[in-house]
């Protein structure tokens, strides 16, 4: 089974973002960019399916293809996936904002060409927190989907996905081909070994453009304003529960 | 072989992330237990850190000196005890073999050294031969197709974990000084090799040094590294490279301490304002930054020269002398900026203050570096 893993280049999760002075977005200049952490989990799961591990027998995945949509530098994000164990990469070069629907359309075009048995995506990217691409892709392809996976078991031609939901665990059984999006507890991604980082350079990356794939990526949405969260106000200590309740009432929150 | 810029950037980023996320959080625990946990040793081996300087054909990364120093800057950002675990495999424990080994010797040992399956130690120092390293007394007398080793080595890093020692021993008792010394690869399992208990040290808890004794150890003649009488040459060439590696680690520790200082000085308030707003604190930060930058520049310059094939004995000594003294001053200022918090154990500043003291002593004391620098100047008659 071929597995596709889309990976997004985002601001490194250790960094704090600064809102641009004109409120049109966040300032990314000169900041370290890394692979979206949920996508790292997706790559790890796919590589385990190929190499064996995490409950998957080796060979569950026959090939792992990492895809990134973004500027030229998104190639570095693909290299990271290749260093973790993906076999090859596809870079769709697109400058500027590419909205979730456009991403899903681009991925559909690649899926049509590649014919994978499974696409594993991060459930959302930590930059815009949209949480849409996996679901939109499933809809465009008319494939079954299981989002927020905390466990994936491939057995008897089916993909059984456990999801953490309110009140417990839910397990879905999907026919292949299918779409799965990863949650935080699915696995703990590896650190790419230094020799594998060196070897990743030799793995192929195909470059494409949205035009090659016949997709119009012009934005459909308009960003009205981006603002910092309101500054925290100083708190107050109370002596009794009665004081607490009175205080909350006075603040108008109960 | 030098790697391209993108691969190099990924390599450095990979090391930095591993250091920040996996090693730095357990620094205090390692110091307390005086041991690096097994899982961390395994992860360091899996990452490939034991093979940084081992040629690619033997399973290592074959980094250039410059690349090794760039990695050294990153490794310096966590307790030096971690680096010590694989440091001998990267430096003094393996480089004699890389530079002077026969094809058979390399094929036999280097793959295990690169993977971390074999930990190596460099056994030069003796109770009576410290800075005067040419005064080695350990003997290796030829007896047919073996050499019989007798003697004692002192302060041998990683000896308690080592599977292979590079031992400097006198093969010709009639020749005084370095010319009578030869180098040998001595596997730990040979009869008559014994290792003492780890010494109690001022800092770098988790890294260990021990005495090693050789009692009628019969070492096959094929384990001699280089020719008879070349041992001292082997040792000095190995130390050139080791000195640059150590200098790069000194820069890394200094840069980490400076970052910690900037953060603390920005947060800590006295007299109603942040420490960082006081000029005397700013002066300390500025001096530390300037000196760390100078040291980094020296290390990179010397490393590039070495990669270009120049003799860098003097440059390596300059870099090691300056960087090790520099990090001592930076650590001292860090304690001063943190004040009482720097003297107590909570922030790790006092721990690093103790850890960095050894950099001015091992792989050639500051005094020896000055002698080497002066000797090279007078020999070359130029800069």
At how many degrees (to 10) do helices A74-84 and A37-51 cross?
Answer: 40
State the virtual CA torsion across B76, B77, B80, B81 in degrees, nearest 10: -140
d(CA B47, CA B67): 16
- Is residue A71 in a domain? yes
User: Which of B115, B140, B171 is the last residue in one of the domains?
Assistant: B115
- Is residue A247 in a domain? no
User: Which of B195, B228, B261 is the last residue in one of the domains?
Assistant: B228
- Is residue B215 in a domain? yes
Residues B132, B91 share a domain: no
Half-sphere exposure of B20 (CA within 13 A, CB side): 10
State the virtual CA torsion across A67, A72, A76, A82 in degrees, nearest 10: 30
- B177 Rama sector, left if φ>0, alpha if ψ -120 to 50, beta otherwise: left
Number of domains chain B contains: 3
Please name the residues in contact with B271: beta carbons below 8 A apart, sequence gap of 6 or more: none
What pLDDT does A111 receive?
Answer: 98
d(CA B382, CA B113): 39
Long-range CB pairs of A50-58 (<8 Å, 24+ gap) are A50/A3, A50/A85, A50/A87, A51/A85, A54/A187, A55/A151, A55/A153, A56/A152, A56/A154
Interface test with A, best of B21, B48, B56 (most A CBs within 10 A): B48
Residues B206, B85 share a domain: no
Taking 3-state DSSP, the helix, strand and coil percentages for chain B, each rounded to the nearest 5, stand at 60, 15, 25
| Chain A residues touching B10 at Cβ < 8 A | 76, 79-80, 83, 197, 200
Size of interface A-B (CB pairs under 8 A): 47
| Chain A residues touching B11 at Cβ < 8 A | 194, 197-198
| Nearest-5° Cα angle at A191, A186 to A192 | 115
d(CA B133, CA B136): 6
d(CA B351, CA B154): 24
d(CA B161, CA B36): 12
Strand pairing of A2-6 and A118-122?
Answer: parallel
- Is residue B383 in a domain? no
- Is residue B77 in a domain? yes
Tell me the DSSP string of A45-66: HHHHHHH-BTTBPTTSSSEEEE
- 3-class SS letters over B281-344: HHHHHHHHHHHHHHHHHHHHHHHHHHHCCCCCHHHHHHHHHHHHHHHHHHHHHHHHHHCHHHHC
CB-CB contact of A66 with A78 (8 Å): yes
CB-based contact, A76 to chain B, within 8 Å: yes
CATH assignment of the domain containing B64? 1.10.540.10
What pLDDT does B382 receive?
Answer: 52
What pLDDT does A2 receive?
Answer: 97
- Is residue A246 in a domain? no
Our answer to whether residue B38 is catalytic in this structure is no
Q: Which of B11, B22, B51 sits opposite A197 (nearest CB)?
A: B11
Domain with B170, as residue range(s), is 120-228
- Is residue A253 in a domain? no
CB-based contact, B178 to chain A, within 8 Å: no
Please name the residues in contact with A25: beta carbons below 8 A apart, sequence gap of 6 or more: A19, A223, A226
B3, A195: Cβ pair inside 8 Å?
no
Residues B180, B298 share a domain: no
What pLDDT does B177 receive?
Answer: 87
- What size, in residues, is chain B? 383
Write out pLDDT tens, residues A203-215.
999 999 999 999 9
B48, A194: Cβ pair inside 8 Å?
yes
d(CA B275, CA B261): 10
Write out pLDDT tens, residues B317-326.
999 999 999 9
- Is residue A42 in a domain? yes
Please name the residues in contact with B53: beta carbons below 8 A apart, sequence gap of 6 or more: B60, B61, B62, B63, B68, B90, B91, B94, B95, B98, B241
- Closest residue by Cα to residue B124 from B114, B111, B133: B133
Residues B210, B124 share a domain: yes
Q: What is the mean pLDDT of each run of 10 residues along chain A (254 residues)?
A: 97 88 86 94 98 94 97 95 97 94 98 97 94 98 97 94 93 97 95 93 96 95 89 85 92 85
User: Which of B65, B84, B115 is the last residue in one of the domains?
Assistant: B115
d(CA B136, CA B144): 23
- Is residue A249 in a domain? no
CATH assignment of the domain containing A25? 3.40.50.620
Residues B354, B277 share a domain: yes
Number of domains chain A contains: 1
- Is residue A238 in a domain? no
Residues B149, B100 share a domain: no
- Is residue B302 in a domain? yes
Residues B237, B374 share a domain: yes
- Is residue B365 in a domain? yes
CB-based contact, A78 to chain B, within 8 Å: no
Which segments in chain B show pLDDT lower than 70?
Answer: 1, 381-383
CATH assignment of the domain containing B258? 1.20.140.10
Q: Which helix (H) or strand (E) holds A199?
A: helix A194-200
The pair phi, psi for residue B49, each rounded to 5°, is -65, -25
- Is residue B212 in a domain? yes
- Is residue A32 in a domain? yes
Domain with A39, as residue range(s), is 2-229
Residues B44, B74 share a domain: yes
């Amino acid at each position: 089974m071929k597995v596709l893993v889309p990976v997004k280049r985002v601001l490194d999760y250790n960094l704090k973002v600064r809102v641009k002075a004109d409120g049109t977005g966040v300032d990314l200049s000169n900041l370290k960019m890394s692979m979206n952490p949920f996508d790292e989990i997706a790559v790890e799961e796919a590589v385990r399916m190929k190499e064996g591990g995490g409950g998957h027998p080796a060979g569950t995945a026959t090939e792992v293809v990492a895809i990134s949509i973004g500027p030229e530098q998104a190639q570095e994000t693909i290299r990271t996936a290749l260093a973790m164990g993906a076999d090859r990469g596809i870079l769709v070069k697109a400058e500027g904002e590419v909205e979730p629907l456009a991403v899903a359309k681009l991925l559909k075009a690649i899926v049509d060409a590649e014919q994978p048995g499974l696409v594993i995506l991060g459930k959302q990217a930590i930059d815009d927190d949209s949480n849409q691409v996996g679901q939109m892709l499933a809809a465009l392809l008319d494939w079954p989907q299981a989002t927020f996976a905390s466990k994936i078991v491939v057995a008897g031609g089916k993909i059984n996905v456990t999801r953490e939901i309110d009140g417990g665990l839910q397990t879905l059984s999907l026919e292949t081909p299918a779409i799965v999006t990863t949650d935080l507890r699915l696995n703990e991604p590896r650190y790419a070994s230094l020799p594998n980082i060196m070897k990743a350079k030799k793995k192929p990356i195909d470059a494409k453009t949205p035009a090659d794939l016949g997709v119009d990526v012009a934005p459909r949405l308009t960003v009205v304003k981006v603002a910092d969260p309101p500054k925290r106000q100083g708190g107050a200590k109370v002596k009794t529960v009665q004081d607490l309740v009175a205080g909350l009432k006075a603040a108008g929150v109960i | 072989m030098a790697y391209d810029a993108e691969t190099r950037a990924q390599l450095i980023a990979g090391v930095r992330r591993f250091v920040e996320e996996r090693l730095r959080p357990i620094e205090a625990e390692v110091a307390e237990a005086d041991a690096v946990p097994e899982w961390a040793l395994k992860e360091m081996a899996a990452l490939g850190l034991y093979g940084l300087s081992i040629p690619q054909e033997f399973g290592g990364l074959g980094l250039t000196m410059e690349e090794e120093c760039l990695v050294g800057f990153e490794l310096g950002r966590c307790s030096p005890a971690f680096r010590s675990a694989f440091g001998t495999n990267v430096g003094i424990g393996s480089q004699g073999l890389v530079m002077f080994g026969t094809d058979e010797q390399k094929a036999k040992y280097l793959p295990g050294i690169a993977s971390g399956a074999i930990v190596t130690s460099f056994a030069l120092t003796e109770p009576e031969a410290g800075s005067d390293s040419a005064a080695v007394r350990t003997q290796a007398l030829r007896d047919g197709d073996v050499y019989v080793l007798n003697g004692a080595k002192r302060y041998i890093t990683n000896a308690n974990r080592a599977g292979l020692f590079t031992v400097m021993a006198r093969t010709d008792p009639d020749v005084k000084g370095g010319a009578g010394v030869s180098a040998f690869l001595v596997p730990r399992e040979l009869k008559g090799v014994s290792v003492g208990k780890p010494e109690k040290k001022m800092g770098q808890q988790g890294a260990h040094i021990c005495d090693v004794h050789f009692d009628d150890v019969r070492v096959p003649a094929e384990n001699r590294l280089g020719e008879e009488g070349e041992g001292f040459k082997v040792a000095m060439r190995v130390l050139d490279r080791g000195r640059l590696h150590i200098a790069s680690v000194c820069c890394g520790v200094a840069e980490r301490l400076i970052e910690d200082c900037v953060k603390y000085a920005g947060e800590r308030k006295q007299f109603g304002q942040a420490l960082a707003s006081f000029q005397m604190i700013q002066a300390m930060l500025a001096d530390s930054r300037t000196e760390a930058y100078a040291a980094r520049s020296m290390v990179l310059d010397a490393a590039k020269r070495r990669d270009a094939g120049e003799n860098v004995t003097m440059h390596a000594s300059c870099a090691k002398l300056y960087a090790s003294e520099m990090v001592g001053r930076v650590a001292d200022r860090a304690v001063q900026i943190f004040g009482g918090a720097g003297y107590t154990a909570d922030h790790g500043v006092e721990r690093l203050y103790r850890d960095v003291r050894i950099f001015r002593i091992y792989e050639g004391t500051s005094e020896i570096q000055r002698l080497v620098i002066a000797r090279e100047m007078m020999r070359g008659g130029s800069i």
